[in-house]
Chain A
């Protein structure tokens, strides 16, 4: 590759919007304002389109490709019972009409009736959504500052001891699956090394909520924090290094400003955009991570509900939870993209 004399054209192509940024800045304010809103609307429409296609994928995988009646009845299926169940589930209707009634129901907040529990899906998952949100909130509020601090400090002390040590430790933790980290914590703090230090499963009396007993929250939260922090800290470190190596930070240094002023006045405001992305990645990761972690600790949230529903072939519940998790995922990324554009003048002028 070193032999190629074509470095400069490819370099220009990597940064296609270089010159226009300088040429455009102080044109009219109104088109620029419109540009942002145009971007926001385009981005929301794109998010909705993604969710629409996801709904087709989820529906196809659960209801169109296989035979739900056979999946539910399993080995006990007789031709009569299969037919009765198909009638009850409207499976004899065309796939399109099944999809349409499911989608319109979902948009009106009606996700159907759980096959296993015979109650509306929304009644089944309402409380669990709040429980999962609480678990994600506890994990995010610990992991976010931790990840940002570790990543930013490692970037500042690049190639020094803290950076090498933290990058090795985050590499090791980022490699392990969530359930492996969770089980290490259970083995260490609940059952084997220090038995009984912390509860290994969440036991909630009927009518109780997870926050009634905060000691039971410790291990699930710690598992999520240990899973998500290394991953996010590595991303934070990389984007902080980008900021620190940027021209404006170098310019500030060349002007002879103190390192403190360079960081607080020049580097930090420009790190806000990456920070939004980091928060989004963190939350999106947690939305997926709760599935396994809730199962380990028997935590009554949407993750364990999803696993139970898949085990019971409870298709309406699976569909509703999959769409819910996808919507959180898409929504979080949408907010991050819009937030990034709003706090980064350099990107805003490009619109």
Chain B
């Protein structure tokens, strides 16, 4: 029993000291205008994607007028087969956001596990894992997704898997680089000496110390996942070819750009603002982390 009490004495102050900077990081990041603008953009587009459908005047698949025209009662006219562009726009963000978010989370979880294992093991396992990551990095992300949908078909879970698995090595590299110095610190050796379970050392002791680079990486990866999944839909690979989806809308209406630009312009604006928003948030967090590090170096 006394050993457990000792664990508390040795490990708790270190972990507590490690967690505090994360709150400080968020406060510092929120003090930067770019983080606030980014959060507003992301918030607005998530709101449109989630709640927009309740304000849609028509069904996203209803025929409401002559194709590619601008009837007076429709805000943004009709699309290539006479559906309401505005309604399809309000419906079209949910799937893109959900698939991107799940794929990013999958990639982050796998990447963090691989990166922590690599940094902690410091032996052949590190080499094997990192070489395996190099193989995935040898292919452009979008190409791997295209190869996967060739035979297996563009189902949501396959796109999530393809984007998640190609996100993994990029996250693993960042995690490994950030965790390597932490692994050498005294509190890790102390936890090892006390016989703390290996997985608790990885996720309880090391992970809290590398959260700030991981948060920067997470927003960067989310930006890229949105880009790839929207690109796949634009290339014609999405789960439901007739469903409203920003990427698919752009593809369908591209040929009618001259006569009816809204079917392309609305989703293009949405994806532009969404990706700019997520990367502004990431840049804000990164700047806050650098600022805190500089301040600490000066202390």
Contact surface of A with B, Cβ cutoff 8 Å: 1-6, 9-10, 13-14, 50-51, 53-54, 57-58, 61-63, 65-68, 71, 168, 171-172, 174-180, 183-184, 186-187, 190-192, 195, 200, 284, 287-288, 291-292, 295-296, 306-307, 309-311, 313, 315, 318, 322, 325-326, 329-330
Judge if B153 is at the interface, Cβ distance under 8 Å: yes
Chain B positions within 8 Å of A, measured between CB atoms, are 13-14, 17-18, 21, 34, 134-135, 138-144, 146-153, 180-182, 184-187, 209, 223, 226-228, 230-231, 234-237, 250, 254, 257-258, 261, 264-265, 268, 271-272, 275-276, 278-280, 283, 296, 299
Residue of B nearest to A72 (CB): B151
Pairs across A and B, CB under 8 Å, 15 listed:
A1-B209, A50-B138, A51-B138, A54-B138, A57-B139, A62-B147, A177-B228, A178-B231, A180-B268, A183-B264, A183-B268, A195-B258, A287-B140, A306-B143, A329-B140
B231 with A288: CB separation less than 8 A: no
Give the interface SS of chain A, mostly helix, strand, loop or mixed. helix
Contact B237 A310 (CB under 8 A): yes
Contact B150 A1 (CB under 8 A): no
Closest-CB distance, B268 to chain A (whole angstroms):
5
Cα-based distance from A43 to B227 in the complex (angstroms): 32
- Interface pair A10/B185, CB less than 8 Å apart: yes
Are A54 and B271 in contact (CB-based, < 8 A)?
no
A192 to B184 Cα, complex, angstroms: 59
Option from B17, B34, B152, B228 in Cβ contact (under 8 Å) with A3: B17
**Which one of B152, B181, B250, B268 contacts A65 once the chains associate, using CB atoms below 8 Å?**
B152
Candidates A63, A190, A322; contact of B143 at CB < 8 Å: A322
Closest to A10 in B: B181
Contacts of A311 in B (CB 8 A): 236
Closest beta carbon of chain B to A105's beta carbon, Å:
18
Cα–Cα, bound, A172→B147 (Å):
29
Per the bound structure, the CA–CA distance linking A175 and B299 in Å amounts to 35
A195 CA to B209 CA, complexed, in Å: 54
Whether B234 contacts A292 by the Cβ 8 Å rule is yes
User: Which one of B18, B139, B182, B230 contacts A326 once the chains associate, using CB atoms below 8 Å?
Assistant: B139
Contacts of B268 on A, CB cut-off 8 Å?
180, 183-184, 187
Contact (Cβ within 8 A) A191 B151 = no
Whether the Cβ atoms of B223 and A175 lie closer than 8 Å is: yes
Asked if A187 and B150 sit within 8 Å, CB to CB, the answer is: no
**Cα of A234 to Cα of B134 in the assembled complex, Å:** 22
Residue of A nearest to B151 (CB): A66
State which of A4, A171, A315, A330 has its C-beta within 8 Å of the C-beta of B185.
Answer: A4
A187 near B275 with CB under 8 A, answer no
B151:A313 contact, CB within 8 angstroms: yes
Q: B299's closest neighbor in chain A, by CB?
A: A2
Complexed CA–CA distance, A168 and B275 (Å): 14
> Is B271 a contact partner of A180 (Cβ separation < 8 A)?
yes
Contacting residues, chain B, for A57 (C-beta < 8 A): 135, 139
CA–CA, A329 and B144, complex, Å: 13
| Contact (Cβ within 8 A) A180 B151 | no
Contact A329:B139 (CB < 8 A) given known A13-B181, A172-B276, A307-B146? yes
Q: Which residue of B lies closest to A2 (CB)?
A: B296
Determine the distance from Cα of A325 to Cα of B143 in the docked complex, in whole angstroms.
Answer: 9
Chain A residue contacts of B228, Cβ below 8 A: 177
A284–B143 alpha-carbon span in the complex (Å): 12
How far, in angstroms, from A182 to B254 measured CA to CA in the complex?
12
